[in-house]
Amino acid sequence: MTLTTALALGQTALKLGLICSLTVLALFLSYSMLNVCDLSTDGCFTLGAAVGAAVAICGHPFLSIFAAMLAGACSGFVTAFLQTKLGVESLLAGIIVNTGLYSINIAVMGGSSLLNMNKTTTVFSMMKEALSSTPFAAQTELIIGLIAVICVVAFLVFFLKTRLGLAIRATGNNADMVKSSSINPVFTTIVGLCIANSFTALSGCLLAQSQKSVDINIGQGMVTIALASLLIGGTVMGRGGILKRAVGMVLGAVIFRLVYTIALRFNMPAFMLKLVSSIIVVLAISGPYLKSQWPQIRRRLTHKKGGI
Amino acid sequence: MLKLNHISKTFNPGTVNEKVAVKDLSLHLKKGDFATIIGSNGAGKSTLFNAICGDFLTDSGSVVLDGVDITFQPQHVRAKSIGRLYQDPMRGSAPGMSIEENLALAAGSGGWLSHISKADKERFREQLALLDIGLENRMSQPVGLLSGGQRQALTLLMSTMDPPKLLLLDEHTAALDPATAEKVLNMTKRIVEENHLTCLMITHNMHSALELGNRTLMMDSGNIVLDISGKEREGLTVDGLLEKFNAGAGKELDNDRILLSKKK
C-alpha cells in the first residue's frame, strides 16, 4: 500500500467516522448517561436522512439540517413518551418506534425508497463552491463533519454540567435517588431522548447529503455500529471528564471506520460491515464479563484435572 | 406541620397476597417535633414513609404538610419539601457523579441551564467541612469511591441543605458499623437541632428511640399503638417501653433486632 492510498483510506475513514460519530454522541447521551438503550436509532437516522433530503430538494439547504434535527427530536419524544407515560418497556418502545418510522420514512421520501440529490444544493455543495479556489475544496465533507462534531461536543460538554444535564445523568445513574429527590424522571428522560435523537437525525442528514442520495436502508444496523464505536471509544479514553469521554466517542467512531476501511482494502466484502460491528459489540461487552469469570473457570478446570 | 388523617393502604387487594400495610392511621406532628418510630417486623413503618413521600397513593385518608394537602401530589413535587434517607447508603446519591455535582443537584438553586458557581462550591465546601470527615477536599471525586458511612453522611447533607419541611429517616444508620453509625447519628442530631427540622425517624435501637427527639411512636399491624412524649417519656426505660408496647399492642414485640438492641 503506498502512502497516497493510505492517506486516501484515512481520509475516507475520517470523513465517515466524523459524520457517524454524531450518532455515537447521541448514544453517549442516551445509553451512557441516561442508561436507556434506544433501539429507535436506526429508524431515526433514516428519518433524519429522509427529512433532510426532502427539504433540501425543495430548495432549503440550511433549513434541511434543522428540519432533520426537529424530526429526530419528535421521534425521540415519542420513544420517551411511550416508556415514561404509557408503560411500554424501554427496549420495546424503541423497537416499536423503529418499526413505525419505516413507513414514515417512505412517506417522507414521497413513497419511494430512494431519493437522489445529485443536482440538489446542499450545505456540502455550497461549501465546495465557496472553497473552490482554495486547496481545501476536496475536503468539504471533512470540514463540515468536523464543524458539526465540534458543535455537538461543545454543546454536550456545556449541557451535561448544567442543572438539567446533572439531573439527566442522575436519572441514568441512580433511579432510586431521583425518585426521592425533586427531579421528575419523566421530564429528564423526555428531554434526554429528544436531544439524543436530534443528533442521530443530524448524523443521518449529513451522511445522506454527503453521499447525495438516501436509501431507506441507510440507517440499518446503525445502533450496533454506534454502540461498537462507543465501546471502542470508552476503552481508548478510559475514565475522565465529560470532554475527555466525548472526544473518546469521536475517536471510537473514527477508529471503527478506519478498521473497517482497512478490512475492505484487504478484500473483505462491504456487506460484512454489520457482522463485524456485531462481533465488536459482543467482544466489548462480554470481554470484561468473561475476564471477571476467568478465576472460577480456571478453578473448575484445575479441579477436573485432579488438582485442588 | 404534618397531618395524616385516617390513611389506609392495602397491597394486592382481593388476592391471596393481600396485605393490609397501614390501617386507619392518624398522626399529627407539630413544627419542630422529632419523633422516633419503633415497631415489629411488617408493622407498616416504611409503608408509612412511602405514603408520606408519594411512592403510591393511599387508598383512603389525606396527607397534609404545612397546611397544603399533598395527598395527590406527584412524588417529585413533594420531594421539594421532604428530605428522605434510606437504610441502604447507596440509594441516596449518584455514584457516577462527583460529590459537588450531587450536592448541586440537591441544592436546587438556579435555573435548569445554570452551572455550579464559585459561590456554590464555597458553600458546599463549608457544609462538607462541618461533617468533619474530610469530604471537603474530595469534592471532584466520584461518590462511588466513598464508604457507606461517608455516603450516608453526604446524603444527609444533600437532603437537608435546603432545610426541608419534613425529614424522614428510615433506619439510616442500620447498615453502618457501630462507630460510623454513632457519628452519623450525631450529625443527624446536630443538623436537626440547628435547622429546627420536623423529623420522623424509624429505628430498631430502643435506646436511640428514647434518647433522641421529643416523642416516641410504636407501630404494630399498620397502626400506631403507642404515642408517648413529655413527662411520660422522660423517666422511661427500655423495659418500661417494652411493657407499654405489650400492653398497647396486646402481644409481645417480635422484632429480633429491636430485642437484641435492648442491652447496650
Measured CA to CA, the distance from residue A68 to residue A26 in angstroms comes to: 14
Higher pLDDT, B109 or A202: A202
Measured between CA atoms, the residue of chain A closest to residue B81 is A182
Mean pLDDT: which of A70-84, A120-134, B48-62, B238-252 is highest?
Answer: A70-84
Q: Residue A54: what pLDDT? A: 95
Whether residue B206 is contained in a domain is answered as yes
Q: Residue B42: what pLDDT? A: 82
Whether residue B254 is contained in a domain is answered as yes
Measured between CA atoms, the residue of chain A closest to residue B52 is A180
List, in sequence order, every beta strand (DSSP E) within chain A: 114-116, 213-215
pTM value?
A: 0.89
Residue B75 forms contact with A (CB below 8 Å): yes
**Where a domain ends, among B123, B143, B160?**
B160
What mean pLDDT comes out for the span B60-84? 92
Chain A contact set for B94 (CB, 8 A): 169-170, 173-174, 177
Of A50, A48, A42, A28, give the one whose Cα is nearest residue A97: A42
Measured CA to CA, the distance from residue B58 to residue B63 in angstroms comes to: 9
Alpha helix (H) ranges present in A86-184? 90-108, 123-130, 140-159, 163-173, 175-179
Whether residue B152 is contained in a domain is answered as yes
For residues A31 and A208, is the Cβ–Cβ distance under 8 A? no
Strand partners, B216: B36, B228
Residue A238 forms contact with B (CB below 8 Å): no
Q: Residue B261: what pLDDT? A: 66
Q: Please, what is the end-to-end C-alpha distance for chain A in angstroms?
A: 53
Q: What nine digits make up the cell of A128?
A: 465546495
Of B55, B76, B84, the CB nearest to A183: B76
Chain A contact set for B106 (CB, 8 A): 181
Q: Which amino acid is at A73?
A: A
Chain A contact set for B80 (CB, 8 A): 182
Q: B174 with B253, same domain?
A: yes
Could you give the C-alpha distances from A175 to A167, A170, A180, B221, B232, in angstroms and in order?
A: 11, 7, 9, 30, 43
Q: Residue B65: what pLDDT? A: 94
Q: Residue A9: what pLDDT? A: 83
Q: With bands split at pLDDT 50, 70 and 90, how would you rate the model's confidence at A33?
A: very high
Residue B145 forms contact with A (CB below 8 Å): no
Count of structural domains, chain B? 2
Residue A291 forms contact with B (CB below 8 Å): no
Q: B246 with B185, same domain?
A: yes
Chain B contact set for A170 (CB, 8 A): 94, 97, 102, 105
Higher pLDDT, B244 or B153: B153
Q: What is the pLDDT of residues B117-163, one digit of tens each?
A: 898 899 999 989 988 888 999 999 999 999 999 999 999 999 998 89
Could you give the C-alpha distances from A221 to A14, A44, A45, in angstroms and in order?
A: 20, 12, 10
Q: Residue B39: what pLDDT? A: 85
What mean pLDDT comes out for the span A237-252? 90
Of A164, A173, A176, the CB nearest to B112: A164
Residue B101 forms contact with A (CB below 8 Å): yes
Q: B125 with B239, same domain?
A: no
Q: What is the pLDDT of residues A62-121, one digit of tens each?
A: 999 999 999 999 999 999 999 999 999 999 999 999 999 999 999 999 999 999 999 889
Measured between CA atoms, the residue of chain B closest to residue A163 is B112
Please indicate whether, in this complex, the C-beta atoms of B105 and A174 are within 8 angstroms of each other: no
Task: Give all domains of chain A, ordered by start, each with its CATH number.
Answer: 3-273 (1.10.3470)
For residues A237 and A81, is the Cβ–Cβ distance under 8 A? no
Q: Which amino acid is at A103?
A: S
**pLDDT(A268) > 70:** yes
Q: With bands split at pLDDT 50, 70 and 90, how would you rate the model's confidence at A136?
A: confident
Place of cell 418502545: A93
Whether residue B207 is contained in a domain is answered as yes
Please indicate whether, in this complex, the C-beta atoms of A161 and B86 are within 8 angstroms of each other: no
Q: B220 with B191, same domain?
A: yes
Residue A217 forms contact with B (CB below 8 Å): no
CB pairs under 8 A between A and B: 68
Residues 102-131 of B with CB under 8 A from A: 102, 104-106, 108, 110-116
Chain B contact set for A162 (CB, 8 A): 112-115
**Residue B18: domain span:** 2-81+164-260
**pLDDT(B252) > 80:** no
Q: What is the pLDDT of residues B163-192, one digit of tens each?
A: 999 999 999 998 888 888 888 899 999 999
**Where a domain ends, among B139, B160, B181?**
B160
Chain A contact set for B110 (CB, 8 A): 163
Q: How far is B86 from chain A (nearest CA, A)?
A: 10
Whether residue B87 is contained in a domain is answered as no
Interface with chain A: mutation pick from B105, B113, B157, B159, highest number of A CBs within 10 Å:
B105
Whether residue B242 is contained in a domain is answered as yes
Residue A244 forms contact with B (CB below 8 Å): no
For residues A35 and A43, is the Cβ–Cβ distance under 8 A? no
Measured between CA atoms, the residue of chain B closest to residue A174 is B94
Q: With bands split at pLDDT 50, 70 and 90, how would you rate the model's confidence at A279?
A: confident
Please indicate whether, in this complex, the C-beta atoms of B95 and A163 are within 8 angstroms of each other: no
Q: Point out the least confidently predicted range of A25-34, A154-163, A263-272, B116-125.
A: A263-272
Q: How far is B106 from chain A (nearest CA, A)?
A: 7
- CATH code where residue B21 lies: 3.40.50.300
Residues 143-162 of A with CB under 8 A from B: 161-162
Q: B139 with B153, same domain?
A: yes
Residue A167 forms contact with B (CB below 8 Å): yes
Please indicate whether, in this complex, the C-beta atoms of B111 and A161 are within 8 angstroms of each other: no
Of A4, A2, A7, A9, give the one whose Cα is nearest residue A265: A9
- Phi, psi (degrees; rounded to nearest 5) at B21: -90, -40
Q: B156 with B216, same domain?
A: no
Q: B243 with B214, same domain?
A: yes
Q: Residue B237: what pLDDT? A: 83
Please indicate whether, in this complex, the C-beta atoms of B76 and A184 are within 8 angstroms of each other: yes
**Where a domain ends, among B127, B160, B193?**
B160
Higher pLDDT, A52 or A304: A52
Q: Residue B262: what pLDDT? A: 61
Q: B135 with B255, same domain?
A: no
Please indicate whether, in this complex, the C-beta atoms of B106 and A181 are within 8 angstroms of each other: yes
Q: B104 with B65, same domain?
A: no
Q: What is the pLDDT of residues A171-211, one digit of tens each?
A: 999 988 888 788 899 999 999 999 999 999 999 999 999 99
Of A166, A169, A182, the CB nearest to B79: A182
Mean pLDDT rounded to a whole number for chain A: 91
Chain A contact set for B105 (CB, 8 A): 163, 166-167, 170, 181, 183
* Assembly ipTM: 0.86
Q: Which residues contact B50 (CB under 8 A, 6 or more apart)?
A: B56
Question: What percent of chain A lies above the pLDDT cut of 90?
Answer: 65
**pLDDT(B70) > 90:** yes
Of B75, B57, B58, give the one whose Cα is nearest residue B168: B75
Q: Residue A308: what pLDDT? A: 64
Angle at A94 between CA A91 and CA A96, to 5 degrees: 110
Residue A177 forms contact with B (CB below 8 Å): yes
Q: B57 with B122, same domain?
A: no
Chain A contact set for B96 (CB, 8 A): 169, 173
Measured CA to CA, the distance from residue A307 to residue B218 in angstroms comes to: 58
Q: B115 with B135, same domain?
A: yes
Q: B138 with B249, same domain?
A: no
